[in-house]
Every structure is written in structure tokens, then in C-alpha cells.
Amino acid sequence: MKKEKEITLRQTADKIYMLDNGRIIEEGTHDELLELNGKYKEMRKAQASKYV
């Protein structure tokens, strides 16, 4: 249940910041970050694959 809540929170956040070594590498809404096809999308796919 915890992971499902985390996914829902990300999808409704006003802005999400993706960090790498303490630096912001991506920022935007859930949908904007998915469109970037960057690290956020990569991590989202990895997490989602555990529920399929």
C-alpha cells in the first residue's frame, strides 16, 4: 500500500524535482517529467514494473 500512495502523491504534486548527486537534473509535473524521457521516467518504469 505504501508504494501506491507514493505513486499517487507524485502524480498530484505541483512540482517534482529529480536530484542526482545533490543537483537538480529534472523538474516539472509528473506528466512533464514523463514527457522528458529522462531519469524520472526511467525510475517510474522500474517502479511500475514491480506491480505488473
| Residue 1 confidence (pLDDT) above 70 | no
| Residue 15 confidence (pLDDT) above 60 | yes
Phi, psi of 29 (to 5 degrees): -80, 170
Domain interval for residue 6: 2-49
Place of cell 529522462: 38
Question: Which of the pair, 27 or 8, is modelled with greater confidence?
Answer: 27
The pTM of this model reads: 0.70
In total, how many domains does the chain have?
1
